[in-house]
Structure 1
Amino acid sequence: MRVRSLNLLQATTRFSQLRPRSTVYQSAKCASRWSSTSTSTSPSTERQWSTPLAKTLAEAITTTGPISVAAYMRQCLTHPEGGYYTRQTSSGQDQFGTKGDFVTSPEISQVFGELVGIWLYAEWLAQGRKEKVQIIEVGPGRGTLIDDVLRTISSFKAFANSIEAIYLIEASPYLQKQQAKVLSGTEVLKKSDIGFSGSCKYIPGCKIEWCEDIRLVPKEDTSTPFILAHEFFDALPIHVFQNIAQSSIPASSTIITPTGPIKPKHGVTTPKNTWHELVVSPTSPYSDPKTRTSSTSSIEEKLDFELTVSKTPTPHSLYLPKMSDRYKKLENTPDAIIEISPESLSYVSDFAVRIGGSNVVRSKTPASSASANNTTSQQDRFSKSQPSGAALILDYGPLDTIPANTLRGIRSHTTVSPFASPGLVDLSADVDFLALADSALNASPGVEVHGPVEQSFFLSTMGIKERADGLLKGAKDEETRRRLETGWKRLVDRGPNGMGKTYKAMTIVPFNEKGPLRRPIGFGGELVG
């Protein structure tokens, strides 16, 4: 969905020290007062909320009880009336770019999208020039990346002619119109069986389909799907768990679910340490403002919501932290915090099934993810006679560790509390690339995973410097030359102000049982075919 400017990405939020009754997130950096309005502590005065969505969420929580971080993120980002991506901005501008809240990699330099297009072409060649190709992008933003990708692909006529359809997975009707204007030259789209459709200005006769969920995109044995997920997984909801020492959870606790209370048949075991879910609840109207201290000033503000530790088990706390040996190794680490995104695992499993099929069950190892097994069983049994296609994932997160304390808010290119001005602030969290890889491998026997590798490595081996040098030679003025020079260097810079180290690339490609391992270009391989 999006990318932030790198200097903002370095300012990740962190949990404060766990208090006896609650835990709250703090920003590592803050340059200005957060925009949530303070509330009156007078019982006779109605509480003032920072946004209409904040009031809606608070009223719902008052009725049902605290909600998970995942539920909070989902409402803040996609609520139909006040969600960050589904609302229409008051100024008419979108959330992207220098006038929005964050800048994406394709916005920084056209070379980024061009190299992604070349990567797709190279993979198409390596797989034997397939004749029926689908291009799928999840979370295409305002269409800048896919526009550069399709413009590049149009230069390779044989590849362009093999593309049967382009699918854009987008939930926001406002962003759909912006994408249509960029790719089809019009905001007027035709109603289709899965959403809306329009023509592609770069590939004559090729249609573009817009839909809200990738599950609506048809799976076909003879189709070769090339899937792009750029700054998509970081915006998917996460559940947050903390390992509480000497947990007081009784052996058989009542669990409150949306359909009513349930009591486990065999009870819950009570180890020395137990995972508790961190949940979101409104702050007390009578509490003092939380104090944030930056390098220049002390900032006081009143947030609408805060994190608290669930006193009893939640349905997610009973199984998500137990689904992988990676989490189990932290069971004896008091106060350890982990973030898990089931929705991310579901999406990447869908990618894998489209590429490799799910008709054969992969043998499971002791370290295999239980959740990935569950995801596989939920997938439609899709038989694919020959694995084909690829998924390219570009996002930010650690190479090999479990994300913790990474939930952040971004507004006007500044890191803010994720609990400030719900619906007006972009929310994201680091991507767990190893969890994605595990889920992909367990969802399909016909795929293999390469990466993650740092973005600097991926783009450099794809030839970013050579392409940038070519553009610089044709630059007509000094301003264009300066923009091109700073743009491409920022994408590969591994320093604190660059994007080369923070951002990662990972790919899912077909598994070849009969031949040797083939590393894709950009991941240590060479151009073939």
Structure 2
Amino acid sequence: MERLDHYMARAVAAYYAGREPFGAGGDFTTAPEISQAFGECLGLWCAVTWEAMGRPDPVLLVELGPGRGTLMADALRAVREVAPGFAAALRLHLVETSPRLRALQAERLPEATWHDGIGTLPPGPALILANEFLDALPIRQFIRRGGAWAERFVADGGFVEAPAEAPPSLPADAPEGAIAEHSEASHAVVAALARRVVTQGGAALFLDYGPAEAVLGESLQAMAAHGHADPLAPAGTVDLTAHVLFGPLAATARAAGVGVHGPLPMGLFLQRLGIMTLAALQARRAPRLAGHILSGAERLVAPEAMGRLFKVLCLCHPRLPPPQGFEAT
């Protein structure tokens, strides 16, 4: 019998070590693969935030879980063209545990320094991007039985329940059979980055899918070949993720004293950053690809596509003004 978060951590590590997850030939497609304007917007957001920080030189530019390096390659191309001062000041650091993905990232980002975790990042002000990073961190699941919470474990390819001490954040009045999820790993990452931003300066931007507030319900899911699969398939054969509960994570960050902005719907955030204008410029430069370029950007902002389900949460030094995209919240 194995606790679900332990199983998920093992399965996710095996998956990224041995499979090609991204794109049409993989299991899923992420925002940077859908539109290059996504990475360009985030790169320019970092440049604007760097200006608000007082233009520190050097400044760390960090990405957590960089995939194939697509987002960061697009971001750097934009800042080198539009914000050369920021491009000269930044030092690129990538947090990635998969040797296979590191090799792919190195082809696009040879100037980067790699880390297995955030604990080895050098000190100093930092701008940190995390796109679809938190959703892959392991979760625990609890189910309400007889007026108390029991925990779900994995055994013999299925779920079993056993008594366990649940996190105090779970509601005591949940109905019988209700399922609650909690990601200790996500809270640890957010708390550590919040403390870093408070003490050393900078900002961290999380983009992921999930509700703005804590909700009951099961969200653990698996993807294979762009379709749904069994989450308890043999470890490493499918992509495992769960919804990010942004409200509790924001509360964890506030407890560390950091400035918290959002969560906002991703579509609204990207529209405020001008993604459709960027996409239109790209379409004019490549008229044969115009339909593809515009439809990709629209997919990221449309509420019925990714624009509402995906959220954006920003942590920044408490003395910084509201970051670009969050001014009206």
TM-score relative to the length of structure 1 = 0.60
464, 483, 488: which one pairs with 2:292? 483
Alignment of 1:445-456 (within 5 A): 445=257, 447-456=258-267
Alignment of 1:200-219 (within 5 A): 208-219=112-123
Q: Which amino acid aligns with 2:205?
A: L
Pairing 1:437–2:245 present: no
Q: Which amino acid aligns with 1:356?
A: V
Cα distance in 2 for partners of 1:401, 1:96 equals 29
Cα distance in 1 for partners of 2:173, 2:144 equals 7
Deviation, 1:485, is 1.6
C-alpha distance after superposition, 1:469-488 (max 9, x if no partner): 111221242xx112102111
Deviation, 1:168, is 0.6
Cα distance in 2 for partners of 1:141, 1:402 equals 29
12, 15, 23: which one pairs with 1:77? 12
Deviation, 1:525, is 4.9
Cα distance in 1 for partners of 2:24, 2:216 equals 28
Match of 1:308? Answer: 160
Q: Which amino acid aligns with 2:209?
A: Y
Pairing 1:472–2:283 present: yes
Match of 2:321? Answer: 518
Q: Which amino acid aligns with 1:280?
A: V
Cα distance in 1 for partners of 2:92, 2:49 equals 17
54, 69, 79: which one pairs with 1:143? 69
Contact 2:143 / 2:151 at 8 angstroms: preserved in 1? yes
C-alpha distance after superposition, 1:4-31 (max 9, x if no partner): xxxxxxxxxxxxxxxxxxxxxxxxxxxx
Match of 2:220? Answer: 407
Cα distance in 1 for partners of 2:107, 2:121 equals 22
Cα distance in 2 for partners of 1:238, 1:451 equals 22
Give % identity: 36
Match of 1:349, SS state, is helix
Q: Which amino acid aligns with 2:313?
A: M
Match of 1:239? Answer: 140
Pairing 1:352–2:165 present: no
Cα 1:475/1:349, change in 2 over 3 Å: same
Contact 1:114 / 1:148 at 8 angstroms: preserved in 2? yes
Contact 2:179 / 2:218 at 8 angstroms: preserved in 1? yes
Match of 2:15, SS state, is coil
C-alpha distance after superposition, 1:335-384 (max 9, x if no partner): 22110000111111111111102xxxxxxxxxxxxxxxxxxxxxxxxxx5
Q: Which amino acid aligns with 2:167?
A: P
Contact 1:403 / 1:431 at 8 angstroms: preserved in 2? no
C-alpha distance after superposition, 1:280-311 (max 9, x if no partner): 110xxxxxxxxxxxxxxxxxxxxxx111111x
Match of 2:89? Answer: 162
Pairing 1:281–2:152 present: no
Q: Which amino acid aligns with 1:149?
A: A
Cα distance in 2 for partners of 1:397, 1:403 equals 12
Unaligned runs of 5+ in 2: none
C-alpha distance after superposition, 1:43-99 (max 9, x if no partner): xxxxxxxxxxxxxxxxxxxxxxx1111011111111xxxx10112x4xxxx210011
Contact 2:4 / 2:153 at 8 angstroms: preserved in 1? yes
Pairing 1:504–2:307 present: no
Contact 2:52 / 2:321 at 8 angstroms: preserved in 1? no
Q: Which amino acid aligns with 2:63?
A: E
Deviation, 1:465, is 1.5
Cα distance in 2 for partners of 1:111, 1:224 equals 26
Match of 1:86, SS state, is helix
Deviation, 1:494, is 0.8
Contact 1:274 / 1:331 at 8 angstroms: preserved in 2? no
Root mean square deviation, CA, Å: 1.6
More helix by share: 2
Q: Which of the pair has more CA radius of gyration? A: 1
Alignment of 1:76-475 (within 5 A): 76-78=11-13, 83-87=14-18, 89=19, 94-155=20-81, 156-163=83-90, 165-184=91-110, 199=111, 208-219=112-123, 223-245=124-146, 273-282=147-156, 305-310=157-162, 313=163, 317-318=164-165, 320-322=166-168, 324=169, 327-328=170-171, 330-357=172-199, 384=200, 388-402=201-215, 404-442=217-255, 444-445=256-257, 447-475=258-286
Number of equivalences: 328
Q: Which amino acid aligns with 1:521?
A: Q
Unaligned runs of 5+ in 1: 1-65, 185-198, 200-207, 246-272, 283-304, 358-383
TM-score relative to the length of structure 2 = 0.96
Cα distance in 2 for partners of 1:470, 1:217 equals 36
Cα distance in 2 for partners of 1:460, 1:490 equals 12
Match of 1:291? Answer: none
Match of 1:71, SS state, is helix
Match of 2:88, SS state, is helix
Cα distance in 1 for partners of 2:60, 2:48 equals 15
Contact 1:403 / 1:432 at 8 angstroms: preserved in 2? no
Contact 2:276 / 2:294 at 8 angstroms: preserved in 1? no
Cα distance in 2 for partners of 1:332, 1:237 equals 23
Contact 1:136 / 1:226 at 8 angstroms: preserved in 2? yes
Match of 2:302? Answer: 493
Match of 1:194? Answer: none
Deviation, 1:501, is 0.8
Contact 2:220 / 2:241 at 8 angstroms: preserved in 1? yes
Match of 2:214, SS state, is coil
Deviation, 1:422, is 2.6
